[in-house]
Structure 1
Amino acid sequence: MRRTGSLVAAAALLAVSTPVWASVAPAPAAQVSGQAAAPAIQAAPVSQLINEVDIPYTKFTLDNGLTVLVHEDHKAPVVAVSVWYNVGSKDEPAGKTGFAHLFEHLMFGGSENAPGSYFTPMRNMGATDMNGTTYFDRTNYFETVPTPALEQALFMESDRMGYMLGAISQETLDLQRGVVQNEKRQGDNQPYGLNQYKQLEALFPEGHPYRHSTIGSMADLDAASMQTVRDWFTSNYGPNNAVLVLAGDITPAKARELTDKYFGPIAKGPVNNPAQAPVPTLSAPLSETTHDRVSNAQVEVSWAVPGMLDPDSVPLSVAASVLGGLASSRLDNELVRGEQTAVSASAGNSAFHRVGIFEMSATIKPGEDPAAVEARMREILNGLIADGPTQDEINRVVTQYASRRIQGLEQVGGFGGKATALAEGQLYAGDPEFYKKQLAAYAAVTPAQVKAAMQKWLTRPAYTLTTLPGQREAYQEAAAAPSGANRTPAPEIERKPRMPKPEIGQVANVDFPAVERTRLSNGMEVIYAQRDATPTTKIALDFDAGLAADDRSKLGLQTLMLDLMDEGTRTLNATQLAEAQEALGATITTGATMDSSVVQLSAVTPNLKPSVDLMAEVVRNPAFAPAELERLRATRLSRIAAERTQPAALASRALPELMYGPNSPYGRPFSGNGDEASVKAITDADIRADYAKWIRPDNAKLFVVSDRPLAELTPILDSAFGQWVPPASAKAVKDFSAPIPAATPKIVLIDRPQSPQSYIMGGEVLGLSGTDDLLVLNAANNVLGNDFLSRINSDLRETKSWSYGVNASVNPFAGRVPYLVTAPVQADKTGPAIEALNQQFNDFLSGGKGVTPEELQRTINGNTRRLAGSYETSAAVLGAMRSNALLGRPDDYPETIAARTNALTAVQLDAAAKAAIDPSKFVWVVVGDASVVKPQLDALGIPVEVRAAAPAAQ
């Protein structure tokens, strides 16, 4: 439940006051040999975009000090509830690191008048975007609920604010301690996963509030006692230390009535005055080299800088974007596209409340010298410090972020919606409109100000961390859990009963936007829906191709071809193409699922026509420059090498072939990256042939969600795509004739030494296709595997605390679908975890422990009530339209779900699961330390095959 970004910093990068009239500069001749002249890109004034960034609100304070912010937005019958507490990991004293985050978990475990997991009532009320997060400066809890469920949501949030202590037991503390420690293992187990600890300890001196990570240390988590946990709650979780935001289908008057009712009786608590934290300066440059089981060396250079309230924060954020945040950034242009000594490069300014961290990093291309790349990074930075950015660079930074903020305004809650912007401003600056002050700062920022801020802060000594491939340093594990007899029991706290929990009103069925269809001049179908909450347009051009289109001998060809499409056209090289998107506030991406390939556009509607024209240029006129192919080939090989160091990627590379066999179009790595041999063998001719075979107008459908009507959009789309003539050859058809081999239960153990956690992935190919009606099976699997409250997650996480999260899902391929189980577990519980999973499956499917009445009702309630919040955004509507087309569903499929779900019975759910899922046929892949894990697996009685993480020869 951790987050690692600063939404306030991101939200701020929004505005300049002058129009952007961007003309794409000519590319160097060496890069565009044979290209036509680059067209001018004319964008709407940025001021026109900035005028759309507004979140009207009402503010009031209850007698107990709770600050309430209300934003009225009736576009959907949902309300976002967001509670922000003014306490984070920077407020933790020595010896109690990780307490803020641990308590965040405890507050999901039940309160005095709502005992048991909070996920149960939240699931029942149809909550979406539900989560809790902790970071240096705050702890928050949020959910978006149907309007008739709002009172119950407020009861739940107020109960854990004012009526919590009596519900915290030693058992709950021990359970959530284990879950948090597995969350820590899961993060630490990733490549470069230990680097953050080194960075914080280097940049901040002993005793500094930001010196330790939010997740804390294993030793401090081990030491957490009932008394210290209760003291933490009493000191920090009073209403006068919190901000409540209600955003959505509610009026200020109703909000006042409900908050008085549910939060008003809660007594004030102590006021937390957030820890003061000066910006430290290193006495001298500090360099450190570490080793990790990584594929590529990495160099990170960082400085402690001022926090978000300092006037230099905005200029530093602009500098970071110019240096390494834009797609056309200086680090990208020089190190990745130009010299090609790095496979990726980035820079960012993480602006926290009191301090920030400015960082630039590069992942080194194999064979290159990390020290030489570091020197070039510093040269590029020093050039920017000496001369400052250009006004054009600043304009592109601002336009791109303005576009993203406008699109973010569609969402009332979640991680980055309107509620978040208001809450952060109030919590950190005492002003819900702090985002507007940041807008004003961006509107006024000049190259000279950016230059001055860099000269002031980035000429100080820096901390440089170089990570080299090798054996990872020793890992600190948790202590053995003491028995209950050895724990000092805390005195019982009397529960404080209050009013009954309110009932949930009648939730209306979702009103999915009407879907319209038309065709362009060349016959290409357009599938359209209108959403007018924000002036934005999203377009997806889907091709019937995908990863399944690759020949076995050319795995990775489809995705490599797609990657090349947005790395230059006949008129724009890669840098120019990136600059053109930034100037328009547009984002063009390419990608592939197993069954389809897609080019997507996200645009602000004032710049729609030039954005669509740019998308058409990418689709219809890719350059496929040989030099770009070689650069992306090297990047792809590095990506594959990186996959062989990542637990989840290793498993998803191995399992598909084990289930589907090597000849099935689905029997290849789910990432689509291919393997080393195939990527090395792909030629320029292969790329062009693959494009001609699959990227053609008669193999495509155009999906559009926009605030503008279809009649207005059709001429724009027709101008860009209507004259695109398909080739005379017949369309290609994917070959699914290869039989799927009979299941042979086995365990493939991929040896990844020094892993504190094992990644378990297993499954089978079901006798069903994605085009079949899977509603009943998916409902049954909500109970069994695909829900926080599912049997397997409840067992391994909420009962045994062996994992941070376990899941089983029916994956919606158009053809034969796989049933996939994923379970990252602590290394010493790997064998028992598979045994426990099999026990849960067998109990459910054949042991007489089918769906209970409570589980049935929870599933029906959750799957119907959550529909109200499921299609709040244009992206969600676009995704539903695309899925409906792929799987042969009617356009109004979302509106049919509620009635069908309400009619389900436990007998139907049991029968669907039993007919489809057979755990005796599961094939398992386990990624972990074989020296620890193999004896556990041998004890299961299933054949075990051990493999190395990397192939013998590459």
Structure 2
Amino acid sequence: MKDFSKAGMSFAMILALLLAPFMPTAVYAQSGASATPKIEFEKYTLPNGLEVILHVDRKLPIVHVNQWFHVGSANEVDGRTGFAHLFEHMMFQGSKNASRDYLKYVEAAGANLLEGGVNGTTSNDRTNYFATVPSGNLENLLWVESDRLATLPEALTKENLDNQRDVVKNERRQGLENQPYGRWFKIMGETAYSEGHPYWHPVIGSHEDLTAASEDDVREFFRTYYTPNNLSLVIAGDFDVEATKRMIEKYFGTIPAGPPLERPAKGMPKLDGERFVKVNDRVPLARTYLGWHMPGYFQPGEAELTLVATILTDGLSARLNKALVYDKQLAANVNSFTFGRNLTGSFVLFATARPDADLGEIEKIIFEEISRLGKEGPTQEELDRAKTKWEFNFIAGLERIGGFGGKADLLNQYNTFLGDPGKFEEDLARHRKVTVDGVKDAVSKYLDTENRVRMHFVPERSGRPSDVAIDRTQEPPLGGDRPFNAPEVETAKLENGMDVFVVSKPELPKVAVALSTRAGAVADPAGKAGTAALANRVMRRGTDSLSALEIDEKLGNLGTSIGGGAGRESGGLSMEVLTRNLDSALEVMADIAINPSFPDEEFDREKKQTLDNLAQAASNPNSVANRVAYMLAFGKDHPYGRPTGGLPGTVQKITKADLVAFHDRYWKPGSSALVFVGNLSLQEAVAKAREHFGSWSGGSAPAVNIPAANSDAAGKVYLIDRQGAAQTVVNHILPGPPRKSDDYYALSLANTVYGGGFGTRLNLNLREDKGYSYGVFAFPNFMSRDGIWLASGGVQTDKTKESAVEFVKELKYIAGEKPISNEELETARKTRVRGYAQQFESYGRIAGQILSLWLEGLPMTELQQEPEELNKLQLGAVNAVAQKYAKPDGTALLLVGDLSKIEQGIRELNLGEIIILDVEGNPVAK
């Protein structure tokens, strides 16, 4: 897997990537009166066996290339685990003719990494690669992709192999070994399957097998599995079909077919009784994982069990959430999902115990509820609600042409595993046809049994080819950029002062709605950090007319839920819903915003949940580093320095009265904005806004005074101990400007050179050149009064000292010792401008951009002007801004890791005064 996130890979992200090809992702579908829209495609096969699928979608001037190789960890042999994933990494190292790092080519062509425009992932059953570029650059991308397939073994070197082996080991440390509960998936596989089963070992492999991999081993793996007859290629987006066919024949048609392949046999293994595993780990709260074998992808019973997961744990009124989290308050959270892999599937359920709760008692309730569901089945209402939620997700996923779960991905998923990319209607129909009896039978057969895995995590108490040859050495020129205009934002204002923004997009029968207020964490009362966040949580748990369970059930029946949260300067609510259900869902959203009742029992429950979440965050080194970085940058008591979710000590002080007062003071229509993106017009949106929010009164919220930063952290080094950590998280903390600053666009370009992507100075140094890290990135956060510029990444523990040297060196370079070159600037500019359209695929992403501009008082025309602003910046101006903020003596360095292994090396560097902090940022006497 490759991760281009800002601050590392969380447990949820790893889980999402592992499950991405098998999640109930989307297809155009709508029940009721509307017909199901068709996903038109053409499939054909080249003489060498390459299967090609073409899908035209002209909503944006972009094209997506999606490749699925039918090989994963299930194809690996004993002693060579992790090969499929290691080879995925090697595919990014450059080929014979495209000899530079792959990502340099696709970024130059306009792939937007931060918008998910390029990636590659490995699962048990397949390895995929995808990239999205402006339509004019399709031929260039096809040349790069085909050259990888045709020549990569010729370009393989021992140096590249050794480097990527180290990168993969760091990925394992970051995603599996250095995360709370991170080992559950590995242990579940090793326990549920017998040694030798294709799913027994983890996709990422073992350190020992990775070390043993030779160049010849990797070449042989490539020649066996990276062949045209083992590849499904999807081209989706805005392109000329006939011209594209000619390109595919030119670049892929000459590559010879590989050997015929045998596939592992499908079949569900049997467990004879329960297999129990106890894991002592650095976790804050005990957690149980339960796993059962179930039918694989698209096999009978899989759809039923997918809906069972929704019935059990999706939403507050779901059976186990209600019992364990809401009523008895034994669990901090409970979740379940199906993992419908190609050979066989798994049903996994996990619950995190609250402090002092007993895992045995939690499991007893889980097993009783599963048994009851297996004997009685669900109610029809429960089943209908689960179907509606699944159908909405099925539609929502196809906002995107590419990316995880987009149309191209689903076409390839169906084609690779089922041999037919046109399984959309069948997939929808099999879920719609699920019955109460069908669910009952599936639960009884697969879940209501002791043939399962039970795992406890408990806190540690100590420590074929064409005859025509082509010249692959000639890189096709990048095409002319097709014009792109950001969507027009229409505006209106209600009589009560609420701003309304609308972007009409008729492609899908859905609407994204976002409500934002100026009720952010900067308005938290002194000593009570976390008030805004807790108020937002409790608001969604009851109104004057609806209880928490009634809200959940009503929204569930509409196939949606209302999310919310509080950032530093704003708080709000959001949802995405089928157009036919918009009015009913808006009614609930408005009720929550205007009439929250803050019930006593919900306040107590959410406060406890918040404290549990803070305890878990304190065991996550990335969370700790990010939270403390803001404290150091602005000062612990500064509105920007206080953690938005609070700390245990501040949350404990918050009362219900504080939440009521906060809502009354800051949730005001005159300080709020309502955004609609989707299948409706401005007139329709304004009418709905007026109907549901027009009665909201109260004027505007008072302005919050945000003083200048009050910090003396510059020039110092801060260390936080995490004993036994497999990695050290390094944060280099730089000052930044506010969003309205004239420096905004120049710093954005400077960051694109420094650390804002894969082919940047920081990441190429620490990941590609040194192999110390899985990824190091930099990202500025522009706020209204000030900003912060963070460079961050996890590095292997035994290379912490060397990594710190490289962080400091790269800072000095960008600060003037090695100014940004004209070539770097032009590459960064093209990357940003060519990748700009990809920010407008997702309805929710569009809504977020609108609200960011509203919050800063900027005109909506900024959406259209950004490419122009980036294009007119000169090199001198960009270097001047980089040097203005990247002052070596004006920065602080923060490291979170095992101090028994890293402290001495850091002290030897003499980078500044060293201060030891605890996980809350308080100095520790030593």
- Do the structures match in fold with TM over 0.5? yes
Note the C-alpha offset of 1:816: 0.5
Q: Which residue of 2 aligns with 1:47?
A: 32
Give the aligned CA root-mean-square deviation in angstroms.
Answer: 2.1
| Matching of residue 695 in structure 1 with residue 667 in structure 2 | yes
Q: Distance in 2 between matches of 1:15 and 1:172?
A: 42
The 5-angstrom pairing of residues 510-525 of structure 1 reads: 510-525=484-499
- 2:827 matched residue in structure 1: 858
Q: Once the 2 structures are TM-superposed, how far is the Cα of residue 772 of structure 1 from its aligned partner?
A: 4.2
* Separation of aligned partners in 2, 1:919 and 1:952: 24
The 1:13/1:878 distance shift into structure 2, 3 A limit, reads: closer
Matching of residues 260-409 of structure 1 within 5 Å:
260-409=249-398
**Structure 2 counterpart of 1:616, one-letter code:** A
- Corresponding residue number in structure 2 for 1:28: none
Of 94-103 and 876-885, more deviation after overlay is shown by: 876-885
What are the equivalent positions in structure 2 for 1:885-896 lying under 5 Å apart? 885-896=854-865
Question: 3-state DSSP class of the match of 2:23?
Answer: helix
- In structure 2, the partner of 1:613 is 587
Please tell me whether residue 96 in structure 1 is matched to residue 80 in structure 2.
yes
Give the secondary-structure state (helix, strand or coil) at the position aligned to 2:38.
coil
2:806 partner letter: A
Contact 1:771–1:814 at 8 Å: present in 2 too?
Answer: no
Task: Report deviation, 1:899.
Answer: 2.7
The answer for the alignment partner of 1:751 in structure 2 is 721
Deviation at 1:277, TM superposition (A): 4.5
Q: d(CA) in 2 for partners of 1:223 and 1:707?
A: 55
Counterpart contact for 1:126–1:864, Cα < 8 Å? yes
Q: How do 1:187-206 residues align onto structure 2 when only pairs under 5 Å count?
A: 187=175, 188-206=177-195
On the 8 A contact 1:510/1:894 being kept in 2, the answer is: no
Superposed CA offset, 1:405-426 (max 9, x none): 2122221101111001110000
Structure 1 residue 156 corresponds to structure 2 residue 156? no
Partner of 2:9: none
- Residue 490 of structure 1 corresponds to none
Flag the 1:614–1:767 CA change in 2: closer, same or farther, 3 A: closer
1:41 counterpart residue number: none
Query: 2:730, 2:795 within 8 Å by CA — same for their partners in 1?
Result: yes
The structure-2 alpha-carbon separation of the partners of 1:586 and 1:321, relative to structure 1 and needing over 3 Å to count, comes to closer
Give the 3-state SS of the residue equivalent to 1:68 in structure 2.
strand
SS at match of 1:553: coil
- Counterparts in 2 of 1:902-917, with a 5 A limit? 902-917=871-886
Q: For residue 681 of structure 1, what is the aligned residue in structure 2?
A: 653
Report the Cα distance in structure 1 between the residues aligned to 2:445 and 2:401, rounded to whole angstroms: 38
Distance 1:498 1:59, change over 3 A: same
> What letter corresponds to residue 535 of structure 2 in structure 1?
M
Alpha carbons of structure 1 residues 390 and 46: separation in structure 2 relative to 1, 3 Å = farther
Number of aligned residue pairs: give it: 898
The percentage of counterpart residues that share the same residue type is: 33
Kept in 2: contact 1:12–1:438 (CA 8 A): no
Distance 2:604 2:94 in 1: 56
Matched to 1:681, the amino acid is K
Give the aligned residue type for 1:466. H
Q: Distance in 2 between matches of 1:638 and 1:818?
A: 28
Following superposition, the deviation at residue 875 of structure 1 comes to 2.1
Check conservation: 2:391, 2:428, Cα contact below 8 A. Answer: no
Query: Among residues 620, 626, 635, which one is paired with 1:661 in the alignment?
Result: 635
5 Å matches for 1:728-767?
Answer: 731-737=701-707, 739-766=709-736
Q: Deviations over 1:838-872 (max 9, x none)?
A: 1111123231x111232122112111111232212
1:230 and 2:219 correspond: yes
Secondary structure at 1:806's aligned position in 2? strand
Q: Deviations over 1:291-341 (max 9, x none)?
A: 111111001111122211321111111112211234431110100001110
Residue 478 of structure 2 aligns to which amino acid in structure 1?
I
Instruction: Tell me the residue number matched to 1:789.
Output: 759
- Pairing partner for 1:105 from 89, 92, 96: 89
1:631-670 pair list within 5 angstroms: 631-669=605-643
Which residue does 2:895 correspond to in 1?
A: 926
| Cα separation, 2, equivalents of 1:117 and 1:951 | 39
CA distance change for structure 1 residues 396 and 251 in 2, over 3 Å: closer, same or farther?
farther
SS at match of 1:468: strand
Question: 1:509·1:898 contact (CA, 8 Å) conserved in 2?
Answer: no
Task: Tell me how far apart the structure 1 counterparts of residues 348 and 83 of structure 2 sit (CA, whole Å).
Answer: 27
In 1, are the aligned partners of 2:26 and 2:393 still within 8 Å (CA)? no
In the other structure, the counterpart of 1:258 is: 247
Residues 1:11 and 2:24 are matched in the alignment: yes
The DSSP-based 3-state class of the residue aligned with 1:11 is: coil
CA distance change for structure 1 residues 114 and 295 in 2, over 3 Å: closer, same or farther?
A: same
State whether structure 2 residue 60 is matched by structure 1 residue 66.
no
Per the TM alignment, residue 652 of structure 1 is displaced from its structure 2 partner at its CA by: 2.0
Aligned match of 1:80: 64
The reply to whether residue 466 of structure 1 matches residue 479 of structure 2 is: no
Partner of 2:7: none
User: Which residue identity is paired with 1:819?
Assistant: W
CA distance in 2, matches of 1:788, 1:499: 25
3-state SS of 2:32 partner? helix
CA contact (8 A) 1:14 1:399 kept: no
Contact 1:616 1:721 in 2 (8 A): yes
Q: 1:526 to 1:427 in 2, by over 3 A?
A: same
Deviation string, structure 1 residues 162-205 (Cα, Å, up to 9, x no partner): 22111111111011111111000001200011222211111000
Partner of 1:484: none
Whole-angstrom distance in 1 between the partners of 2:462 and 2:342: 33
> What letter matches 1:926 in structure 2?
L
Q: Quote the residue 1:176 is aligned against.
A: 164
**One-letter amino acid of the counterpart of residue 153, structure 2:** L
Say which SS state the counterpart of residue 290 (structure 1) adopts. Answer: strand
Tell whether the 8 Å contact from 2:728 to 2:897 is kept in structure 1 after alignment.
Answer: yes
Q: Which amino acid aligns with 1:11?
A: P
Given residue 23 of structure 2, which amino acid in structure 1 is its aligned partner? Answer: A
Moved more, 537-546 or 890-899: 890-899
Q: Is the Cα contact below 8 Å between 2:94 and 2:100 reproduced in 1?
A: yes
Change (3 A) 1:895 1:678: same
Which is further off, 138-147 or 264-273? 264-273
Residue 367 of structure 1 and its aligned partner are, at CA, apart by: 1.1
Deviations 1:249-306 (A, max 9, x none): 1244333222112111111012333322532122221212111111110011111222
2:37 & 2:710 partners in 1: Cα distance?
53
2:12 alignment counterpart? none
1:15 is displaced (CA, Å) by 11
C-alpha distance in structure 2 between counterparts of 1:715 and 1:15, whole Å: 27
- TM-superposed CA distance for 1:497, in Å, is 5.2
Q: CA 1:892/1:634 → structure 2, altered by over 3 Å: closer, same or farther? A: same
CA distance in 1, matches of 2:826, 2:79: 44
Within a 5 Å distance, the mapping from 1:763-782 to structure 2 comes to 763-766=733-736, 768=738, 770-782=740-752
Amino acid across the alignment from 1:90: A
Contact 2:227 2:258 (C-alpha < 8 Å) held by counterparts: yes
Q: Distance in 2 between matches of 1:926 and 1:619?
A: 40
Change (3 A) 1:541 1:865: same
Shift of 1:464: 0.5
Give the gaps of 5 or more residues in structure 1: 17-44, 474-494
User: Are 1:212 and 2:197 an aligned pair?
Assistant: no
Contact 1:547 1:558 in 2 (8 A): yes
Alignment of 1:541-580 (within 5 A): 541-580=515-554
In structure 1, give the amino acid aligned to 2:893: W
Inter-partner Cα distance in structure 2 for 1:635 and 1:421: 36
**Helix, strand or coil at the partner of 1:409:** helix
C-alpha distance in 2, partners of 1:933/1:715? 61
1:500 aligned residue: 474
Q: Which residue of 2 aligns with 1:489?
A: none
Q: Give the C-alpha shift of residue 525 in structure 1.
A: 1.6
Cα distance change of structure 1 residues 550 and 950 upon mapping to structure 2, 3 Å threshold? closer
After superposition, give the CA deviation of every residue in 1:37-83 in whole Å (9 maximum; x if it has no partner): xxxxxxxx83347x445321111111111111111111111111101
